[in-house]
Structure 1
C-alpha cells in the first residue's frame, strides 16, 4: 500500500533507485505549485564529477524570486531537503537556479508583464 502522495509522484520511497531523478521530479512538481508560470519551469539533474550531482532549476525570469525566496529561504529549504538525500546515496549535490533556457515557451501574458 502506498502512502498518500499529494504531489502525484510516480514512485514511492521504496521504488526510488536513482535518488537524483526522484529529487528532480519532486522539486519540479512542488515548484510548479509555487511559481506564476509553471509552463516555463523545468528541473534537470546530471552527474558533474565523481561524487557530485547537479540539480538545475530553470524558471521564468519573473519567478526567480519565488524559487529563491525572501532572503534565500526557499532555496535554502531546497538545499536542506536535498542534503537529506546525500545520506541515502552518498553524492554531494549542487543546486543552481537559472532563468528559463527556452524563452519561447512563455505565453503572451508573461511577455506583457
Structure 2
C-alpha cells in the first residue's frame, strides 16, 4: 500500500474558508520538498493591516537560495501563486523570507520582502 503524498491531499472546504491558512500550509508542504533542511522550515501568516496579510517563510540559511531560486524564479512563482489567492479573498500579500535557525530572531540580515500588487 502506497503512502499518500501530502502535496496531493486536498484541503477540506471548511479548512479553506481561511485562504491564508491554506496558502501557508501548501507553501510549507511544497517548500519542505525543495529545501535541504525541511525540519528548519516553517511558514506563518499574519494580518498586517486592513486588507494586507504577510506570509513569512523561515528557512535554514543554506536553503535561502532554494527558496528564492535562480534569478528569483522560485519566489516569483510563489508570488504568482499567492496573487491568485488575492482574487478569492481580496487581501494583498507581502512575502518575507527569513534565513535563520531561530524564527524568534529579529537580527537577521537575510530578509526578502515583496508586496503582491
Structure 1, unaligned runs of 5 or more: 104-113
Structure 2, unaligned runs of 5 or more: 104-117
Greater share of helix residues, 1 or 2?
1
Contact 1:9 1:26 in 2 (8 A): no
Give the Cα separation in 1 of the matches to 2:25 and 2:9. 7
**TM-score computed with the length of structure 1 as normaliser:** 0.81
**TM-score computed with the length of structure 2 as normaliser:** 0.78
Give the Cα separation in 2 of the matches to 1:23 and 1:100. 21
Contact 1:45 1:53 in 2 (8 A): yes
- What SS does the aligned partner of 1:72 have? helix
C-alpha RMSD of matched pairs (Å)? 1.9
- What SS does the aligned partner of 2:7 have? coil
Partner of 1:26 in structure 2? Answer: 26
Aligned length: 99
Give the Cα separation in 2 of the matches to 1:19 and 1:68. 23
**How far did 1:100 drift?**
2.5
Contact 1:41 1:100 in 2 (8 A): no
Partner of 1:63 in structure 2? Answer: 63
After superposition, what is the alpha-carbon deviation per residue over 1:55-87, rounded to whole angstroms, capped at 9, x for unaligned? 000000000000000000000000000000000
- What SS does the aligned partner of 1:7 have? helix
